[in-house]
C-alpha cells in the first residue's frame, strides 16, 4: 500500500489540503496558458482551413482570404466583449451552462452543456491531430505513427492536469509564450515583404474535385464557416473564473482581453502573409507535407533555426491547446452533475483539488475519437465549432435576458433580486444596463446566424453527427436525472417509517478447516445465534475430510454439506439461500467468506478468489449481505 501511495505521489504530486485551495489559483500569465491555449493555437490552422475551401474556387478566389479573416476578427471582438460582460455579471464563474439555465431555463442549459461538452471533446481531438500534423511537417517519417503519437500526447496532458491547475499552468506557460513570441516574430519578419513587394501568384494550384463548383456567396460562407474554428475556447475563461486569483473577475477579464488581442493580431498576420506569398494548403497525406505556417516560415526565413523553433513551438501549443478542454470539461461536468443530470462522481474533487474523474473521462473519449478518425484534422474539422456556436448563442441570449430584467427593475426602482446574498449589491444605471443588453443581444444574433451558416455548410460533411450526439446526451441527462429523482423518492424518510426488526442468520463458507476459518467461526458466532457452516463438495473426499476435522476440533456449529454435481461453487450456495428465503422471507442472511491475504500482492493471483464470483452472484439478492473475514499470512 505504501509503495502504491509513493507511485501516486510521483505521478500526480502530494495531496493538497482544502484550506490551501486559494493558493492553487492562477494569475493572468498562468491563466492565459491554461485557458487560452485552445484559442491561440487556432492561429496554426484557421487560415489554412479557409484556404482549403477557397482553392475550390480557383486562384481568383484566394483573394477572399483577407476579407474573410477580417469578418472573423469582427466576430471575435463581438464574442470576446460579450463574454467580458459575462465574467463581471457572474464573478463566481457563470459560463454558458449557468447563464443559460438561470435566464432561459433548464432545457436551454442542458442544450448548452451538451453542446459545450461535445466541443471540448472535439477540441482535444482536433488540437492533438493538428499537433501531429505539425510533427509530420518536421519529420515526415513519423506519418505512420500519427495515432500512437496522438494517444501519447493525450495521456501526458491527462497526467499533467491530474497534478493540479497551478502545476499545469507553470508547465504550459513556457510553450504557450514561446509560440506567441515566435508567431509575432514571424509576422514582424513578414511585414517588410508584405508591404514593400508585390503579391506572389499561387503556384501548382490543385484543380477542384470533379463536379464541384463553388462560387460567390456559397464559397464565402463556406470559407467563413471554416474560419470559425478560431473562436473555439473563447468561452473557457468565463467558465473558469473561480480558477483565478482574487479579484477573480478582474484577472479573468484581463486574461480574456489579452487573449483576444493576441488572437486577432496573429490570425490577421498569418492570413495577410499567406495571401501575399501565394501559399496554398497541402493534404496531410502528400509527400513533403507542410502546414501553411511552415510554408510561410520557409519563404521568409528558410529551413534554419527560426523555422524549426517555430514548428516545434506550433506543435507544442497545438498539443497543449487540448489543455483548455482538460481545464473546463471537468468543471462543466461538475456543474451539470450538481444539478443531477450527470453521475455524481464527476462532482468530487481529488486530493490535488482537480475534478479527476472528469479529466479521465475526457481523455478516454478523446483517445477513442482520434483512433476512429486516424488523427486526421480535416476529417474532424467538419464536426468542430458548431457545438460551441450553439453555446455562444444560448449564452449571449441568456445574458441579454438577464440585463433586460435588470433594466426593467432599475427603471421601476425594484431591488436587484439576481444579486447573491454574499455579493455586494451594486446598482447600475438603466442606460448602462440597456447598453449591455444591446451588446449581448447583438452577439446572440450574430452567433445565431453563424450557427445556421455552420449547419448549412457543414451538414453533408458530417455535422449531422453533432446533432445526433446532442440528442443522445440530452436523453442521457434526462435518464440520469430521472434515476436520481427516483432514488430520492425511494430513500426519503416518511413519518410512518420506522426502524425494521430483523432476524439474522450467518452462513460461513468453509472450503477446508484452517486458521483463517477458525477466526471466521469466532466472528460468525459473535454476530448471530443462528450460525451455519456451508461446504460445497467439489471432490468426494473433501467432505469426509472436513467432517473428520470438524469433529476432532469439537466445533459447536452445524456443518451443512452441499453436493455440486457440476463442480460449481456458486449455484449450490444460491439454491440454499433461496430455500432459506422461501422458508422465512424476512430473514437477513450474512454470507461470510474467509479470505487469506498474502504478503505480496502478486501472490494473490495464485489463489482461486472464489469470493469474487460469489459476491457478484449475490449482489442482486434481497436481504443477503456478503462479507469477507481476512486472514493475513505472515
pLDDT at 210: 45
The number of CA neighbours under 13 Å toward the Cβ of 220 is 11
Between CA 369 and CA 339 the distance in angstroms is: 28
Show me where the domains of the chain are located. 28-201+214-415+430-486, 503-632
Between CA 534 and CA 583 the distance in angstroms is: 18
pLDDT at 365: 92
Summarize the confidence of residues 296-307 as an average pLDDT: 87
Summarize the confidence of residues 465-478 as an average pLDDT: 90
| Length of the chain as a residue count | 634
Summarize the confidence of residues 195-207 as an average pLDDT: 66
pLDDT at 18: 42
Q: What is the pLDDT of residues 152-164, one digit of tens each?
A: 989 988 888 877 6
* Identity of the highest mean pLDDT range in 19-28, 139-148, 177-186, 509-518: 177-186
Q: What is the pLDDT of residues 117-127, one digit of tens each?
A: 888 888 888 88
User: What is the per-residue burial (b if ≥16 Cβ within 10 Å, else e) of 355-366?
Assistant: bbbbbebbbebb
Which tops the pLDDT comparison, 251 or 387?
Answer: 251
User: 503-632, what's its fold?
Assistant: Rossmann fold (3.40.50)
Structural Rg of the chain based on CA atoms? 32
pTM over 0.85: no
pLDDT at 604: 65
Which tops the pLDDT comparison, 189 or 384?
Answer: 189
Summarize the confidence of residues 612-617 as an average pLDDT: 77
Residue 108: band (very low, low, confident or very high) from pLDDT cuts 50, 70, 90: very high
3-state secondary structure 169-221: HHHHHHHHHHHHHHHHHHHHHHHHHHHHCCCCCCCCCCCCCCCCCCCHHHHHH
Q: What is the DSSP letter of 493?
A: P
Residue 182: band (very low, low, confident or very high) from pLDDT cuts 50, 70, 90: very high
**C-alpha torsion sign, points 512, 516, 519, 520:** negative
pLDDT at 181: 93
Examine domains 28-201+214-415+430-486 and 503-632 and report if their fold is the same.
no
Between CA 455 and CA 475 the distance in angstroms is: 21
Report which secondary-structure segment, H or E, holds 536. strand 530-537
Orientation of helix 28-35 relative to helix 165-196, angle to 10°: 80
Give the bridge partners for 537, in sequence order.
563
Can you say whether residue 173 is alpha, beta or left, with left for phi > 0 and alpha for psi between -120 and 50 degrees?
alpha
Q: What is the pLDDT of residues 46-101, one digit of tens each?
A: 888 888 788 777 667 778 888 888 888 888 888 888 888 888 888 776 578 888 89
How many Cβ atoms are within 10 Å of 89's Cβ, its own excluded? Answer: 19
Q: Is beta strand 530-537 parallel, antiparallel or unpaired with respect to 503-509?
A: parallel
Summarize the confidence of residues 538-563 as an average pLDDT: 84
Residue 452: band (very low, low, confident or very high) from pLDDT cuts 50, 70, 90: confident
Residue 427: band (very low, low, confident or very high) from pLDDT cuts 50, 70, 90: low
Residue 185: band (very low, low, confident or very high) from pLDDT cuts 50, 70, 90: very high
Between CA 294 and CA 317 the distance in angstroms is: 15
CATH number of 28-201+214-415+430-486: 1.20.1740.10
How many Cβ atoms are within 10 Å of 174's Cβ, its own excluded? Answer: 13
Between CA 357 and CA 36 the distance in angstroms is: 23
CB proximity list for 403: less than 8 A, separation 6 or greater: 89, 433, 434, 436, 437, 440
* Average of per-residue pLDDT values in the chain: 80
* pLDDT over threshold 70, residue 351: no
Between CA 531 and CA 522 the distance in angstroms is: 11
* pLDDT over threshold 80, residue 470: yes
* Identity of the highest mean pLDDT range in 7-11, 292-296, 406-410, 470-474: 470-474
* pLDDT over threshold 70, residue 219: yes
Between CA 116 and CA 328 the distance in angstroms is: 10
Between CA 278 and CA 290 the distance in angstroms is: 14
Residue 477: band (very low, low, confident or very high) from pLDDT cuts 50, 70, 90: very high
Between CA 240 and CA 231 the distance in angstroms is: 17
Residue 218: band (very low, low, confident or very high) from pLDDT cuts 50, 70, 90: confident
pLDDT at 89: 82
Summarize the confidence of residues 540-547 as an average pLDDT: 82
Q: What is the pLDDT of residues 526-538, one digit of tens each?
A: 888 888 888 888 7
Distances (CA, A) of 559 to 236, 468, 545, 613: 65, 59, 13, 23
What values do phi and psi take at 536, rounded to 5? Answer: -100, 120
Residue 286: band (very low, low, confident or very high) from pLDDT cuts 50, 70, 90: low
Summarize the confidence of residues 10-35 as an average pLDDT: 61
Least confident of 210-214, 242-246, 324-328, 616-620: 210-214
Summarize the confidence of residues 209-231 as an average pLDDT: 66
CB proximity list for 122: less than 8 A, separation 6 or greater: 369, 380, 383, 384, 387
Amino acid at each position: 500500500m505504501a509503495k502504491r501511495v509513493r507511485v501516486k505521489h510521483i505521478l500526480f504530486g502530494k495531496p493538497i489540503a482544502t484550506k490551501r485551495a486559494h493558493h492553487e489559483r492562477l494569475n493572468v500569465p498562468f491563466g492565459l496558458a491554461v485557458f487560452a491555449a485552445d484559442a491561440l493555437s487556432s492561429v496554426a490552422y484557421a487560415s489554412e482551413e479557409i484556404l482549403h475551401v477557397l482553392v475550390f474556387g480557383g486562384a481568383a478566389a484566394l483573394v477572399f482570404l483577407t476579407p474573410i479573416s477580417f469578418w472573423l476578427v469582427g466576430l471575435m471582438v463581438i464574442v470576446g466583449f460579450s463574454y467580458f460582460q459575462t465574467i463581471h455579471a457572474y464573478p463566481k464563474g457563470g459560463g454558458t451552462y449557468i447563464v443559460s439555465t438561470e435566464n432561459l431555463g433548464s432545457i436551454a442549459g442542458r442544450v448548452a452543456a451538451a453542446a459545450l461538452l461535445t466541443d471540448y471533446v472535439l477540441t482535444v481531438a482536433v488540437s492533438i491531430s493538428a499537433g501531429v500534423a505539425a510533427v509530420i511537417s518536421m519529420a515526415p517519417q513519423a506519418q505512420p505513427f500519427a495515432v500512437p503519437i496522438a494517444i501519447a500526447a493525450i495521456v501526458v496532458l491527462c497526467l499533467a492536469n491530474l497534478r493540479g491547475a497551478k502545476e499545469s499552468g507553470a508547465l504550459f506557460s513556457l510553450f504557450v509564450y514561446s509560440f506567441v513570441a515566435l508567431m509575432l516574430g514571424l509576422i514582424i519578419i513578414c511585414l517588410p515583404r508584405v508591404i514593400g513587394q508585390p503579391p506572389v501568384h499561387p503556384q501548382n494550384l490543385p484543380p477542384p474535385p470533379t463536379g464541384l463548383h463553388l462560387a460567390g456567396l456559397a464559397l464565402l460562407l463556406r470559407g467563413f464557416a471554416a474560419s470559425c474554428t478560431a473562436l473555439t475556447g473563447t468561452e473557457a475563461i468565463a467558465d473558469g473564473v473561480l480558477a483565478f486569483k482574487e479579484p477573480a473577475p478582474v484577472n479573468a477579464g484581463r486574461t480574456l482581453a489579452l487573449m483576444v488581442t493576441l488572437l486577432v493580431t496573429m490570425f490577421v498576420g498569418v492570413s495577410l502573409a499567406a495571401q501575399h506569398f501565394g501559399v496554398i494548403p497541402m493534404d496531410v497525406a502528400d509527400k513533403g507535407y507542410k502546414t501553411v505556417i511552415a510554408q510561410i516560415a520557409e519563404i521568409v526565413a528558410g529551413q534554419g533555426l527560426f523555422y524549426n523553433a517555430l514548428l516545434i513551438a506550433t506543435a507544442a501549443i497545438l498539443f497543449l491547446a487540448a489543455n483548455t478542454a482538460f481545464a473546463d470539461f471537468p468543471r462543466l461536468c461538475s456543474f451539470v452533475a450538481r444539478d443531477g443530470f450527470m453521475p455524481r462522481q464527476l462532482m468530487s474533487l481529488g486530493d490535488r483539488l482537480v475534478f479527476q474523474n472528469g479529466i479521465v473521462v475526457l481523455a478516454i473519449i478523446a483517445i477513442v475519437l482520434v483512433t476512429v478518425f486516424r488523427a486526421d484534422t480535416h476529417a474532424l474539422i467538419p464536426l468542430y465549432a458548431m457545438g460551441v456556436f450553439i453555446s455562444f448563442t444560448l449564452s449571449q441570449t441568456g445574458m441579454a435576458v438577464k440585463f433586460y430584467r435588470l433594466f426593467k427593475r432599475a427603471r421601476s426602482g425594484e431591488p436587484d433580486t439576481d444579486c447573491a446574498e454574499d455579493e455586494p449589491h451594486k446598482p447600475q444605471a438603466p442606460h448602462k444596463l440597456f447598453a449591455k443588453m444591446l451588446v449581448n443581444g447583438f452577439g446572440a444574433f450574430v452567433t445565431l446566424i453563424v450557427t445556421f451558416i455552420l449547419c448549412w455548410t457543414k451538414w453533408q460533411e458530417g455535422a449531422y453527427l453533432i446533432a445526433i450526439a446532442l440528442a443522445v446526451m440530452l436523453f442521457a441527462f434526462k435518464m440520469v436525472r430521472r434515476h436520481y429523482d427516483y432514488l430520492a423518492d425511494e430513500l426519503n424518510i416518511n413519518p410512518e417509517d420506522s426502524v425494521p426488526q430483523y432476524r439474522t442468520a450467518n452462513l460461513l463458507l468453509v472450503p477446508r478447516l484452517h486458521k483463517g476459518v477458525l477466526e471466521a467461526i469466532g466472528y460468525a458466532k459473535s454476530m448471530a445465534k443462528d450460525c451455519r457452516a456451508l461446504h460445497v463438495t467439489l471432490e468426494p473426499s473433501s467432505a469426509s475430510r472436513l467432517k473428520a476435522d470438524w469433529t476432532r476440533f469439537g466445533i459447536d456449529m452445524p456443518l451443512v454439506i452441499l453436493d455440486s454435481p457440476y463442480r460449481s461453487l456458486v449455484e449450490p450456495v444460491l439454491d440454499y439461500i433461496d430455500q432459506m428465503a422461501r422458508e422465512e422471507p424476512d430473514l437477513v442472511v450474512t454470507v461470510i467468506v474467509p479470505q487469506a491475504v498474502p504478503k505480496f500482492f502478486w501472490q494473490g493471483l495464485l489463489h482461486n478468489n472464489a469470493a469474487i464470483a460469489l459476491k457478484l452472484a449475490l449482489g442482486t439478492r434481497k436481504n443477503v449481505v456478503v462479507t469477507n473475514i481476512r486472514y493475513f499470512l505472515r
